[in-house]
Chain A
């Protein structure tokens, strides 16, 4: 595995030179600017207006409701941008690069296919995780400065978002062994969308008190653990809320928040190992 750092350095340099980072930075600047605008407007509105009497009567904290909803939105945006970055860094690593003739000169070197795959994953996961952490921190600061509100937990949801994009990078890398770049990109975003839909189904199931929907959502979230990590992260930002505020947050547009319990991290680690192992076996057997 002595070749892994060489491949990591190569992948990072490739990303820099291909201006992937530049494109992502421009998109992120737009996203963060919009979030800043939205957060300031939202908190200004609740500062200017009296809360509805019903909300006061029910004991709903409008600042917490606004802050948590906004921050949940920013977490969704951050996860989406992280998923885009993860997909673009990995979608053509095997079949795409082999079809273009870029892979063969690297694979015949003595480092081995396993080191190549691992190096590519580590580079993509590190870049995406760092990216997600930075955007998370920026949005946290914006929410605090605009509305004097911060989540109940900070490190936990941040690390969970970082792990979620690492899972997406692993799935995209696995797909790149079998699918062309375009097909893999489509597949990754369909899987990403499926995870989010499962989260929404769970939310609907909770409101309707439907065990079937809730079960489907739960199974889907564990089958695609980036969704379980996201839901657990969302849950963590209002972990200390209770009463009607908690209830109102669960009904909100980003109320897919669910605590995943103590098995989330072991399951995520096992999932990554399983996907990585399957990818290594498939890549080792692939004719290039």
Chain B
């Protein structure tokens, strides 16, 4: 499978501060990868290097096979910044038209309509940005990032200003993007959201990747919990394969079994373990 985004031994120094210290990350085509880490871990710097906004001190970043920041790389990607603003005087339609021209998209009104529909802003086509709520602007930002049918998206905290309904819209949108084969590097603090939608996660701490893999691979077994007559019994150290044996032994011992759960660590626990005292 080809790689939509690759970072190899990426280093970024701001004076004496090392923001990235030899980061290796890759996102396969059509894959949705969550980038996690505490504030100051280097997540936004990594995304900005990928977009060509920041120059790496050392190492290499490639977007769809092209050097990050090159015209080819920028043609293949879309980007939603963490802290962005659109001109307040522009309507949603005007903003998307501008980005179509900048991206060289020939999608016209059909593309704009489809994108606004996708982010739930079909009714706000002629509304000015300054008349939109923060959440609406964030959804418009996602639509803007999708202009020109990019193969790869950098989304930096795309749900930070959204209410639960808006987050669900974005979650569905991310699933839709995956169905369309668009790869995404999602930088987010919302672990539950990342756990729900991402194929893989990479956890950054102090400029280094400290954990990477599928959430299920990173999770550690925490035992098996069984609901019986006397309450809930925990079989610590047991794993999924032990569940039939545990149930059989309980039934043989005359217990009534009402429910069984295989426990594993949550992404939050994995995250806190990985970043240690830096969390919070």
Contact segment of B76-84, B174-182, B229-237, B248-256: B76-84
Q: Report A195 CB to chain B, min CB distance, Å.
A: 33
**Is B85 a contact partner of A109 (Cβ separation < 8 A)?**
no
Q: Report A125 CB to chain B, min CB distance, Å.
A: 21
Residue A112 contacts which of B55, B71, B90 (CB distance < 8 angstroms)? B71
Q: Is A145 an interface residue (CB 8 A)?
A: no
Q: Is B107 an interface residue (CB 8 A)?
A: no
**Is B54 a contact partner of A111 (Cβ separation < 8 A)?**
no
What 1/0 mask marks residues of chain A from 9 to 44 whose CB sits below 8 Å from any chain B CB? Answer: 010001001100000000000000000000000000
Contact A104/B98 with A109-B103, A288-B54 known, Cβ cut-off 8 Å:
no
**Is B84 a contact partner of A108 (Cβ separation < 8 A)?**
no
Q: Is B53 an interface residue (CB 8 A)?
A: yes
What 1/0 mask marks residues of chain A from 92 to 129 whose CB sits below 8 Å from any chain B CB? Answer: 00000000111011111111100000000000000000
Q: Is B75 an interface residue (CB 8 A)?
A: yes
Q: Is A287 an interface residue (CB 8 A)?
A: yes
**Is B86 a contact partner of A10 (Cβ separation < 8 A)?**
no
User: A interface, by DSSP: helix, strand, loop or mixed?
Assistant: loop
In the bound complex, how far is the Cα of B55 from the Cα of A107, in angstroms? 14
Q: Is B74 an interface residue (CB 8 A)?
A: yes
**Is B74 a contact partner of A109 (Cβ separation < 8 A)?**
yes
Q: Report B95 CB to chain A, min CB distance, Å.
A: 9
What 1/0 mask marks residues of chain B from 87 to 98 whose CB sits below 8 Å from any chain A CB? Answer: 101100000001
Q: Which residue of B lies closest to A9 (CB)?
A: B101
Among B75, B77, B84, B86, the one with the most A-chain Cβ atoms within 10 Å of its Cβ is: B84
Q: Which residue of B lies closest to A7 (CB)?
A: B102
Size of the chain A interface, CB-CB below 8 angstroms:
22
In the bound complex, how far is the Cα of B84 from the Cα of A106, in angstroms? 11
In the bound complex, how far is the Cα of B85 from the Cα of A288, in angstroms? 14
Q: Which residue of A lies closest to B54 (CB)?
A: A287
Contact A18/B89 with A101-B83, A112-B71, A288-B48 known, Cβ cut-off 8 Å:
yes
In the bound complex, how far is the Cα of B90 from the Cα of A14, in angstroms? 9
Q: Is A6 an interface residue (CB 8 A)?
A: yes
Residue A14 contacts which of B48, B81, B87 (CB distance < 8 angstroms)? B87
Q: Which residue of B lies closest to A97 (CB)?
A: B85
- Residues from chain B with a CB closer than 8 A to the CB of A102 are 84-87
In the bound complex, how far is the Cα of B78 from the Cα of A110, in angstroms? 10
**Is B53 a contact partner of A100 (Cβ separation < 8 A)?**
no
Residue A110 contacts which of B53, B75, B83, B84 (CB distance < 8 angstroms)? B75
**Is B89 a contact partner of A109 (Cβ separation < 8 A)?**
no
**Is B84 a contact partner of A3 (Cβ separation < 8 A)?**
no
| B binding-site residues for A, Cβ under 8 Å | 48, 51-55, 71, 74-75, 77, 79, 81, 83-87, 89-90, 98-99, 101-104, 141, 144
| A binding-site residues for B, Cβ under 8 Å | 2-3, 6, 10, 14, 17-18, 100-102, 104-112, 285, 287-288
Give 9 nearest A-B pairs by CB, closest first: A17-B89, A109-B102, A101-B85, A110-B74, A6-B101, A288-B53, A287-B54, A110-B75, A101-B84
A sample of 24 inter-chain contacts (CB < 8 A) reads: A3-B101, A3-B102, A6-B101, A17-B89, A17-B90, A101-B83, A101-B84, A101-B85, A102-B86, A104-B51, A105-B81, A105-B84, A105-B86, A105-B141, A106-B102, A107-B52, A108-B53, A109-B74, A109-B102, A110-B74, A110-B102, A112-B71, A285-B55, A287-B55
